[in-house]
Amino acid sequence: MKPSKIAVAISISLLLLAAVVALRSPDANGTPAPAAAAELVVSSARDAGPQTLRDAILAADRLSGHAHILVRAKLIALDSPLPALINPRGVDLEVAADSGTLDADHLASGVVLQINSPGSALKGLHIVHAHGTAILVNAPGVQLDSVIIGDSKAGILVNAAARGCAIRASTFERDETGVIADTGVRDLTVLGGVFRDNTRAAIWSVAAPAKGAAAPDAGTEGNRPQEPVRIIDGVFERNAAGVVIANQPVFLQKDRFLGSHDSAVLILSGAARIEDSEIRDSGGTALSVTAGKSVHITHNTLANNRVSPNPASTPPAMPISAARIPSPSTIWKISLLPAPSATRIPISRVRCCTM
């Protein structure tokens, strides 16, 4: 080999070696730099086969590192449930613009997509016609952004193992139930969601009480209560019920409930906080408390709700003392079960005034 060719070969080898060293070089803390997530592109609209979503999930689950799936197929008609995401390093599933609609009409029941992979993220996925549950979250730290679920039995079911799950800027339309917080769920945040025309409830946070035990209170962090379920900045339109709560403390803040067919917020038991929210044009009750403990309602606006006797008729054990209620004040109802425990239900920090 000529000297010039040898020199070129040596130069190329040194450059390749430098690139490998750079990829493996530790950071300031001495930790090797992580390799980039492998990207799997979904371009086929078929249910199975090369470049399909099913094939991409199976490939992602086999990887030893974090995986990234990009869905470019516009409409995928599923013949069977998708494989679960099980990669222990996490999977990011992202949908390109005007793509990523999964039609689950051919599935008789079951879960369309199950997430068992911690720290995974879904962005932009659209699921319709799920006869069972569209998305089941079983792992901690899962983030769901801009998800749309429509015409399904259940939108997203968050299990107790899915601590730290966040559902942001997502839409649930014409489902039976939009989001279900299962018994024992912790640190679930639903932020900026839109819930329309859901036939059972927009959000269902109901847990069976432990045998012989009282409904749990919210935990505390410092001096501020920390509810396991937080619903913030949501818009609820024309749902049968907005939020149903039992035995799982819930915090609602800056939510708007418009045109609920029954109760906008139904508290069957347990603790709840409702702050800076608006309830209007309910066909039934704006807020119904049948039993509960540590229910706090502060600085809310209620108007034009159909079923609501005068706040003065509320039992003495239920002081109303801070929501904005326009005059005439015939738009508020707190209903209590005629049981001895009803007198132990404190509702405090609520102002009731004319405007």
Q: What is the pLDDT of residues 150-184, one digit of tens each?
A: 999 999 999 999 999 999 999 999 999 999 999 99
Q: Which residues of the chain have pLDDT under 50?
A: 8, 10, 12, 14-29, 31-35, 213-215, 220-224, 309-355
Task: Answer whether residue 81 is part of any domain.
Answer: no
| Residue 332 placed within a domain | yes
CA 323 to CA 300: how far, in whole Å? 5
| Residue 25 belongs to some domain of the structure | no
Are the C-beta atoms of residues 94 and 124 closer than 8 Å to each other? Answer: yes
148, 260, 263, 265 from 284: Cα distances, Å? 27, 7, 6, 11
H or E segment and range at residue 55? helix 53-62
pLDDT value of residue 210 = 65
**Is residue 297 included in any domain, yes or no?**
yes
- Amino acid 323: pLDDT: 39
How many structural domains compose the chain? 1
pLDDT at 215: 47
| Residue 114 forms part of a structural domain | no
Tokens encoding 187: 């640190």
Check if the beta carbon of residue 161 is closer than 8 Å to that of residue 188.
no
Does any domain span residue 63? Answer: no
CA 314 – CA 288 distance, rounded (Å): 12
**103: closest CA among 125, 70, 72?**
125
Q: Is 295 within the bounds of a domain?
A: yes
What is the per-residue pLDDT across 74-109, written as a single tens digit (0 to 9) for each?
999 999 999 999 999 999 999 999 999 999 999 999
Q: Which residue has the tokens 């339309």?
A: 173
Does a structural domain hold residue 344?
A: yes
State the residue range of the domain holding 287. 204-235+256-355
